[in-house]
Structure 1
Amino acid sequence: MTDDVPIVVVGLMGAGKTSVSRLLGEALGRPVRDSDEYLEERYGATAAEIAAGEGTAELHAREAAHLLASLAERPAPVIAAAASVLDDPRCRAALKPALVVWLDALPEFLAEQILAGSHRPRFGMEPLALATELRERRAPFFAEVADLRFQRPTMSKHEVARAVLDHVRESGV
């Protein structure tokens, strides 16, 4: 795989994007760009804090800006993208040249992860209802952009990373 093709890991919050991205970045010797880390470094606030203080629209605008800037970097990084970026048609279009890995998960699993992380916004909803609503709304967008799809936690983060690396080696993406 040439280092000019970004690898973008997408999925709902709690699916394991950060962990899988780090594993891929380490294995491929690429920088990792994580939306959550970016928000904290750039704005000094978590996604949950930005959503609560400045609104959901501002949070999503910052997450989209992060993805678009990261996609332009060379060598191309591995990107753990916020799920919200797929709501933006510009972001979906910008993903076309990337290798997009979708970490899909059932709402019950995601709800557990949402509860475990205070940095994850809840948008005033109970975690299971939130995960269910987000999955129903965003699944078509994930399906539209994904080159690879893995079911979490059926596959561990390490198994997903190995499968992506095998795909990269076999396809020479």
Structure 2
Amino acid sequence: MVDDTPIVVVGLMGAGKTSVSRLLGKRLDRPVRDSDEYLRERYGATAAEIAEREGTEVLHAREVEHLRAGLAERPAPIIAAASSVLDDPGARADLKPALVVWLDATPEFVAEKIAAKPYRPRFGMEPLALATELHERRAASFEEVADLRFERPAVSKHEVARAVLDHLSRREP
């Protein structure tokens, strides 16, 4: 049943995961679980702060923890997942029962978002270099798990949400 299927929105930081997840949550009357909010609420720190203070491995483990908690939750939420979860083969396998929506944002678009928000980790890199490296490193994993793919910013957040809702309506019995 569609209501029992978690929807996981993936993409690089700044691709619009939180906004799309909130649009879907509102339209589907489902809870939204956002990685950035989870980190702030549970650990009292942003992703950038955790990466700086405790290291990238700790940050990424907590982001996988967020994904798994959301996937286990009922009613099934909309999950805005950190892209780092795709580096973990077990987390990728955990996504199989979910509807995975990939916001495939251009590195230039992502770089603007990274530069504009201090809570986004930069891992010691300039925004465009970081966005390009992350896109190249994770594109195959996004492709592996995605049920739906949308190119951002060519497709707006509202258009993505409408397309996901259309997809879900076609899956209904």
- TM bucket (normalised to shorter chain) is over 0.9
Query: Contact 2:30–2:77 (CA<8 Å) still a contact in 1?
Result: yes
Equivalent residue, structure 1, for 2:101: 101
SS of the aligned residue for 2:65 comes to: helix
Aligned residues: 173
- 1:79-125: CA deviations, max 9, x gaps? 00000000001110000000000000110111001011111000000
**TM-score, length basis structure 1:** 0.98
User: Structure 2: how far apart are the matches of 1:77 and 1:106?
Assistant: 27
- 1:43 Cα deviation after fit: 0.6
Query: Contact 2:2–2:171 (CA<8 Å) still a contact in 1?
Result: no
Equivalent residue, structure 2, for 1:112: 112
4+ residue segments displaced more than 6 Å = none
- 1:113-169: CA deviations, max 9, x gaps? 101111100000000000000000000000000000000110110111001000000
User: Structure 1: how far apart are the matches of 2:116 and 2:170?
Assistant: 36
Equivalent residue, structure 2, for 1:163: 163
SS of the aligned residue for 1:3 comes to: helix
User: Structure 2: how far apart are the matches of 1:15 and 1:57?
Assistant: 22
- 1:45-98: CA deviations, max 9, x gaps? 000000000000000000000101110001100000000000001110000000
- 1:10-69: CA deviations, max 9, x gaps? 000000000000000000000000000000000110000000000000000000001011
- 1:172 Cα deviation after fit: 2.3
Equivalent residue, structure 2, for 1:14: 14
CA RMSD of aligned residues (A): 0.9
Equivalent residue, structure 2, for 1:136: 136
**TM-score, length basis structure 2:** 0.98
The answer to whether 1:85 aligns with 2:94 is no
Question: What runs of 5+ residues in structure 1 fail to find an aligned partner?
Answer: none
User: Structure 2: how far apart are the matches of 1:56 and 1:15?
Assistant: 20
Query: Contact 1:3–1:74 (CA<8 Å) still a contact in 2?
Result: no
